[in-house]
């Protein structure tokens, strides 16, 4: 890697490789940037806007913005943290997220980000949506009211599983998760319980029909470490490699 390929992120010099985005370079350097719809294994979506950063007078999504030499990027500013908090509060209001009784409590990225950003209450009145659930699959249950429309399941299904089962349909508040089958039911697709798409959801939208609540409180992913520490912990587990 050329020493010339560097940019500044909150005052820290970050090296990058040609073709990398700001998010990819930051993750490889062990620097956490808040995100929901980004996953390093799949193409960028840029929809959640939680990874927004200031780049020389403009606001961009770090997951889609190419890294360039001598960029000056700011992420950890009061203005951006407040904007992220509002985005998270909107997601809580837009869906039905009852953390105390949710199967994914303690393992949920949305919940962990809310804690990390200091969310203590509903800022906006809940919309209380009533989207159709889908229990047609023998192994999987779909709770659309929890979907945050990150399309991670869609990208995992298409790019990893080679099935392209999950997708988003509709516009605005009518956007929802749908399945590519004649009936529109997940049970009429070739979705499998072992598919990557079935385990990529950052919230509690795609659930196994068996095995829920197996992890006791205190042993879940975010019980002992805030979300901004998880990336560094995983890097240490890999022996410091990026």
CATH number at residue 184: 3.30.70.20
Residue 238 in any domain: the answer is no
| DSSP at 133 | P
Work out how many domains the chain is built from and give that number: 2
Q: What is the CATH number of the domain that holds 29?
A: 3.10.20.740
Looking at residue 215, what is its pLDDT?
87
Check residue 126 and give its pLDDT: 86
**Residues 60 and 103 both lie in one domain:** no
CB atoms within 10 A of CB 130: 9
Residue 221 covered by a domain: no
Global pTM value: 0.89
pLDDT, position 235: 44
> Same structural domain for residues 102 and 193?
yes
Return all residues near 132 (Cβ < 8 A) that are at least 6 apart. 144
Distance CA 30, CA 28 (A): 5
Give me the pLDDT at residue 153, please. 98
Helices (H), the chain: 22-28, 78-94, 109-116, 152-156, 227-237
Is residue 35 one of the residues assigned to a domain?
A: yes
Same domain? For 67 and 103 the reply is no
Query: Mean pLDDT, 10 residues at a time, over the chain (242 residues)?
Result: 81 96 95 96 94 96 96 97 96 91 94 95 86 96 95 97 96 90 97 97 95 86 88 45 36
Please check whether residues 104 and 44 belong to one and the same domain.
Answer: no
Range of the domain at 67: 6-76
Question: What's CA 99's distance to the chain center, in Å?
Answer: 17
Which tokens is 214 given?
A: 């197996």
Tokens of 37: 């719809």
Cα(103)–Cα(109) distance, rounded to whole angstroms? 13
Residue 240's pLDDT is 42
What's the confidence (pLDDT) of residue 128?
A: 82
Q: Which of left, alpha, beta for 19 (phi over 0: left; psi -120 to 50: alpha)?
A: left
Same domain, 139 and 178: yes
Q: Does residue 216 belong to any structural domain of this protein?
A: no
Four-residue CA torsion sign, 104, 231, 74, 49: negative
* 207, 140 Cβ separation under 8 angstroms: yes
CA distances (Å), origin 98, targets 72, 126, 142: 39, 11, 16
Based on the domain organization, do 106 and 179 belong to the same domain? Answer: yes
């Amino acid at each position: 890697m050329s020493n010339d390929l560097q940019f500044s992120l909150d005052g820290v010099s970050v090296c990058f490789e040609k073709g990398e985005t700001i998010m990819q370079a930051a993750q490889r350097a062990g620097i956490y940037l808040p995100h929901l719809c980004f996953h390093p294994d799949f193409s960028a979506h840029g929809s959640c806007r939680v990874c927004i950063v200031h780049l020389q007078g403009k606001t961009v999504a770090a997951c889609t913005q190419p890294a360039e030499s001598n960029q000056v990027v700011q992420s950890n500013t009061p203005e951006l943290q407040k904007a992220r908090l509002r985005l998270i509060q909107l997601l809580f209001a837009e869906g039905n997220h009852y953390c105390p009784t949710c199967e994914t409590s303690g393992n949920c990225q949305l919940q962990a980000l809310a804690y990390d950003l200091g969310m203590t209450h509903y800022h906006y009145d809940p919309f209380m949506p009533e989207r159709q659930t889908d229990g047609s699959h023998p192994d999987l249950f779909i709770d659309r009211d929890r979907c945050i429309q990150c399309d991670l399941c869609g990208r995992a299904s298409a790019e990893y599983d080679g099935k392209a089962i999950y997708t988003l349909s509709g516009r605005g508040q009518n956007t929802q998760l749908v399945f590519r089958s004649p009936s529109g039911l997940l049970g009429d697709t070739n979705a499998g319980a072992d598919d990557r798409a079935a385990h990529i959801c950052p919230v509690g939208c795609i659930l196994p029909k068996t095995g829920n609540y197996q992890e006791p409180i205190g042993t879940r992913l975010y019980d002992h470490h805030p979300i901004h520490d998880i990336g560094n912990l995983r890097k240490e587990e890999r022996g410091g490699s990026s």
